[in-house]
Amino acid sequence: MPAKILGGIDLAAIIMDGFGDDGKNVPKLSTRNINPTGFETRLEWNPAVKSDEPRHLFNPHGDSSLEITVIKNSSEEGFSVTGSLKEFDINLFDFITLNFERIDFTAPKGEKLNVSPVIKEVTFGGPLQFVNDLKNFLGNIGGSGLAIDVTPSGVSAGITQGIPTLGVGVLTIQNIAFTAGINLPFTGDPVRFRFAFCKREHPFILTVYGLGGGGFFGLDLGIDGVELLEASLEFGASVAIDIGVASGEVHIMAGIYYKWENDVVLLSGYVRLGGELEVLGIVSISVEFYMSLTYADEGGNSKVWGEATLTVEVEVLFFSKSVSMTVRREFADPDPIKFAMLMSKDEWEEYCEAFA
């Protein structure tokens, strides 16, 4: 198994080929006596480093360096390893760039590898470039700011930033939140990054007169690729009325949900409508209807299914009863229906003879 840094970059891919004209890349071997009956062998290697083309996840600076030292004591079993990689960037698919001052790693005899990273700066790029400006306001408008947590298994840093309600004329945007986080494991697993604009359970809310909608967006990625991408948008209308003895509301919403996770694609469109009526605060009736059509593709195996659910709830004083019914229909072959599939054999022959 090849040695990796940050769980996703092959160490062999970032070491310059050859030993160089000055011999700098040549490993140096030395031995010294440590007692009358034993000796210590030391291997020191300071190879030049390069970008891991064609991926360009690892990008060294002009003063980048890699130092590796292996020590073997003749009177003891096993050996110890220490090393340091200095001044480089990790570019996560142009979404986020981590500027490292250094990573120190040690592996004492018979013990697991210990990693100690020092990150100088985190810069966002591509569609997340606006976050660089947002960082200047973190902690000033009600957000939690930048939180860093160091554990024996890794380092995690995250930002959760709430944004006040925005109102422009008849347009109002509420429940806006931005989340960004990074997890750097010491266990050899790949670095992970999380970006989200609101959450599935807490979407943003957009209102224009009586029309409204909302949605969210989330992205998980690491050195080894994109792990999760999901997004949802919803739009509809809601109307409420109160005439004293009775009050109620009616709503209708339509939306679309997309999810890509580990090469599994899920696309769903849905409509939900319902309403509630309350009379004299004694009797209330609510009805909710939800219908969706979903397409899923997993490794080339695709399927389509539709689902409809009707929920009725009746409440009288302290008594409440809810009834729900669900119907699901799955289509075995989601491919488009072919013209020949609509005809019997005799009908098809008659159809062909008409053009003979």
pLDDT of residue 3: 62
Helix (H) or strand (E) holding 286: strand 283-298
pLDDT of residue 310: 92
Question: pLDDT confidence of 300, banded at 50, 70, 90?
Answer: confident
Q: In the chain, where does DSSP find H-type helix?
A: 130-134, 345-353
- The closest of 44, 43, 64, 42 to 52, measured between CA atoms, is 64
Q: How many CA atoms lie within 13 A of 71 on its CB side?
A: 16
Q: What is the mean pLDDT of residues 190-211?
A: 75
Model pTM score: 0.53
Instruction: Dig out the tokens for 247 from the structure.
Output: 């009050």
Among 159-163, 175-179, 275-279, the range scoring the smallest mean pLDDT is 159-163
Q: Is 223 left (phi over 0), alpha (psi -120 to 50) or beta?
A: alpha
Among the ranges 72-81, 84-93, 212-221, 285-294, which has the highest mean pLDDT value? 285-294
Map residue 68 onto helix, strand or coil. strand
pLDDT of residue 335: 53
Tell me how far apart the alpha carbons of residues 113 and 39 are, in angstroms, rounded to a whole number.
25
Query: Cα-Cα-Cα-Cα dihedral of 332, 336, 339, 345, to 10°?
Result: -20
| Higher-pLDDT residue of 81, 326 | 326
| Higher-pLDDT residue of 61, 160 | 61
Question: pLDDT confidence of 353, banded at 50, 70, 90?
Answer: confident
- The closest of 127, 40, 62 to 92, measured between CA atoms, is 127
Among 17-21, 28-32, 170-174, 304-308, the range scoring the smallest mean pLDDT is 17-21
Is the distance from CB of 165 to CB of 197 less than 8 angstroms? no
Residue 32 neighbours by CB under 8 Å, 6+ apart: 39, 40, 42
List of long-range contacts for 226-231, beta carbons under 8 Å, 24+ apart: 226/93, 226/260, 227/192, 227/261, 227/262, 228/259, 228/260, 228/261, 229/258, 229/259, 229/260, 229/261, 230/200, 230/257, 230/258, 230/259, 230/260, 230/261, 231/257, 231/258
pLDDT of residue 340: 57
| Higher-pLDDT residue of 103, 139 | 103
pLDDT of residue 143: 42
Among 52-66, 86-100, 126-140, 197-211, the range scoring the smallest mean pLDDT is 126-140
Tell me how far apart the alpha carbons of residues 192 and 197 are, in angstroms, rounded to a whole number.
17
pLDDT of residue 142: 40
| Higher-pLDDT residue of 106, 23 | 106
pLDDT of residue 141: 38
Q: Average per-residue pLDDT in the chain?
A: 76
pLDDT of residue 169: 62
| Higher-pLDDT residue of 212, 333 | 212
Tell me how far apart the alpha carbons of residues 83 and 191 are, in angstroms, rounded to a whole number.
20
| Higher-pLDDT residue of 129, 260 | 260
Where b means 16+ CB within 10 Å and e means fewer, 145-170 reads ebeeeeeeebbbbbbbbebeeeeeee
pLDDT of residue 171: 63
Question: pLDDT confidence of 309, banded at 50, 70, 90?
Answer: very high
